Amino acid sequence: MAVFLLWCNIEVLLRLHKYHHKIQEPWPDKLGFIRASWGPLKHIKGLNNDAYNAIFNGPKSLWKRRNEIAHTGKFIEEHDVAHFVEYANFVIDNLNSNLPKREDFLAKKKRSDAQKNRKKK
């Protein structure tokens, strides 16, 4: 269960980063933007390739294991996922430390809304 919660934390942080990057678009409901070339993940991969691979890359990644748990109800033993904890914490810490502040989100959203309103006139 703890691994599932780690993934949920990562997912929310990824969505916040994506939303800030493309604030004119709606909240990202799909995770199709997750790839090694996307800015925040490119940064993580550059810092710790093992962490990137463990969390995001391949059928044994935390992302894919999470899908197994969520979509099939498969039970996964603790020893099968314990190695994710250190890498997940690294990813969470990195995403948190690079996440824009609330004020930055609000200011960017305000500028974005102002641009939309100017285009409508």
Residue at 65 is within a domain: yes
Residue at 59 is within a domain: yes
- Give the structural domain span for 94: 40-121
Average pLDDT, the chain: 84
Residue at 87 is within a domain: yes
For the chain, what is the domain count? Answer: 1
4-58: per-residue pLDDT in tens?
789 899 999 998 988 877 766 676 677 777 888 889 999 999 999 999 999 999 8
User: Are 55 and 91 within 8 A, CB to CB?
Assistant: yes
Measure the CA dihedral 48/12/81/51, to 10°: 0
Distance CA 7, CA 28 (A): 16
Residue at 64 is within a domain: yes
pLDDT of residue 120: 65
3-state DSSP percent of the chain in helix, strand and coil, to 5: 70, 0, 30
Residue at 7 is within a domain: no
Alpha helices by DSSP H, listed for 22-61, are 39-47, 49-56
Residue at 54 is within a domain: yes
13-25: per-residue pLDDT in tens?
998 988 877 766 6
59-105: per-residue pLDDT in tens?
889 988 888 877 777 777 777 778 899 999 999 999 999 888 888 77
Residue at 100 is within a domain: yes
> Global pTM?
0.78
Residue at 3 is within a domain: no
pLDDT of residue 80: 78
